[in-house]
Structure formats: C-alpha cells, structure tokens
Amino acid sequence: MSSPNIDDDMREKIIARPDVILDDQDVMRALIDANEKSMGNNIVDLRGIAMERLEARLDRLEDTHRSVIAAAYENLAGTNQVHRAILRMLDPMAFEVFLRDLGGEVADILRVDCVKLVLETKQDGDAAVERLGDVLTTAAPGFIDQYLTAGRNVPVRQVTLRQIQVGADHVYGEAASWIRSEACLKLDFGPGRLPGLLVMGAEDPHQFSPQQGTDLLAFFGGVFERAMRRWLS
C-alpha cells in the first residue's frame, strides 16, 4: 500500500470540506485531466465528455443570466430617467419656462444633446416662436408626416428611432450638422388641432436606432401631449 503524496493537514481539510474542491472549476478540471491521463490513450472517458458538455452549457447559461441582469438594470435606469424628466417637465407654471426647461434640464436628465418641438400651423410668424426659437419651430401642415416617412408610403409610427447622416436644418437649426441619431415622438393634441413633433437629437449615432424599444419614449410622449394640451387650451 503506497503512502499518499499529500500532507495530513491538507488531506484532513479536503475530507472535512470536499465541497471546496467540487465548487472550484479549475481544480475539478485538473483532476479530470489527471484521471484521463492515468487511463491511457486507448480509453474514451464518456463521463468526462459529458461533464465538459455540461460545463459548456453552464457557462452559456451564466452568460445569458448576466445579460438578462444587465438588461434589467438598464431598463430600470431608463425608467428612472424618464420619470425624473417627466416630473421636471411638469414643474413650470408658465409656457415659456416649460419649453426652455425642455431644451435644458429635461434634455440633460434624458442625456440627449438637443430637444426640439415642431408645431404645425397655418399661420405665418409667431412672437412665441421668435422668443423660443432655440426649442420651438413651426411648419406647414403635413410637414411632420413627410419628415417621419421621408416621403415613402409607410405607416407613421408614434415613436420613430433612427440614425441619420445629418439633421434637418428646419428642425435642428445650427445643431443640424452634428446630429447623427434621433428619436421622433409624434404628438396628438386632440380633435381639431394640428399635430406636433418632439424630436430628441444625439451626436452619438448609436444612441437611437430602430432596434431599440420604444415603450418608455411612447409614455413620455403621452405625458408631453397632455401637458401641451393644457397650454394650448
């Protein structure tokens, strides 16, 4: 009978806590490799192969779990952002302050580089537009649908996320040259009123893309519609 090649203290620790070995993937892999070498090259260890496959499957499940957790945290952070922006948007008691905050603190909370509000109107010129030209602009009836569809025969969605080569001058003004992606929220102000468009522009071409979800922005747009109806009434 050969004596063990391991000191007594370590041997006792392993016997007392075998789970320490079993839970360590690197140690278990080394033991399996050593067992395969001891069996020789002519023996196929099916148990070892099965364990390798289970280990690979476990790694994939762990990666998926981490991805799900990361997505959940990202969604929670996005929800908190939108809620904070809505609360800030509802604070002002005057229309001009409401719009200025939209292009200032609300935009900062949402982490977008530019926010613009486009209102369709049949009238030429407006004193409010001149005072709030950095946030508010007007357009002729039909402009918004044309802008969202780019003239194509496609349905107009409530929220449109897309990457662009350059922003539209009429929408973004001086900021148009560096806008690379945008979120467009079509606004319904009620029966008998022309629509509006809330546009969030970003210098980052990946901030908004068609593959992203739109639920939070649709919710934000719905709250904004109701706030605007109060000012327009």
SS3 percent helix, strand, coil of the chain, rounded to 5, is: 55, 15, 30
Q: Helix crossing, 215-232 with 46-89: angle to 10°?
A: 10
Token pair 């079993």: residue? 22
Residue 15 binned pLDDT confidence (cut-offs 50, 70, 90)? confident
Give the tens place of pLDDT for each residue, 47-89: 666 667 777 777 777 777 676 666 565 666 778 888 899 999 8
Best CATH choice for the domain 93-232 from the list 3.40.50.880, 3.40.50.1970, 3.30.450.40, 3.40.190.10: 3.30.450.40
Q: Is residue 95 within 8 Å of residue 126, measured between CB atoms?
A: no
* DSSP conformation class of 3: P
Q: Are 168 and 146 in contact (CB under 8 A)?
A: no
Q: Residue by residue, what is the 3-state secondary structure of 140-195? A: CCCHHHHHHHCCCCCCCCCEEEEECCCCCHHHHHHHHHHCCEEEEEEECCCCCCCC
- Stated as kind and residue range, the H or E segment containing 58 is helix 46-89
Locate 193 and state its tokens.
């009123």
Q: What's the pLDDT at 46?
A: 58
pLDDT over threshold 60, residue 127: no
Summarize the confidence of residues 101-121 as an average pLDDT. 91
Which residues neighbour 158 within 8 Å (Cβ) at sequence distance 6 or greater?
A: 185, 186, 214, 218, 221
**pLDDT tens digits, residue range 196-228?**
999 999 999 999 999 888 888 999 999 999 988
DSSP 2: P
> Can you tell me whether residue 114 is helix, strand or coil?
strand
Structure-block tokens of residue 201? 């522009």
Higher per-residue pLDDT: 40 or 83:
83
User: Chain centroid to CA 122: how far?
Assistant: 37
Q: What is the pLDDT of residue 1?
A: 46
- Residue 11 phi, psi (nearest 5): -60, -40
Half-sphere exposure of 10 (CA within 13 A, CB side): 5
pLDDT in tens, 154-206: 888 999 999 999 889 989 988 899 999 999 999 999 888 899 999 999 999 99
Beta strand pairing call for 114-120 and 196-202: antiparallel
* Spatial separation of the C-alpha atoms in residues 123 and 137, rounded to whole Å: 12
Between residues 45 and 84, the one the model is more confident about: 84
What's the whole-number mean pLDDT along residues 22-34? Answer: 71
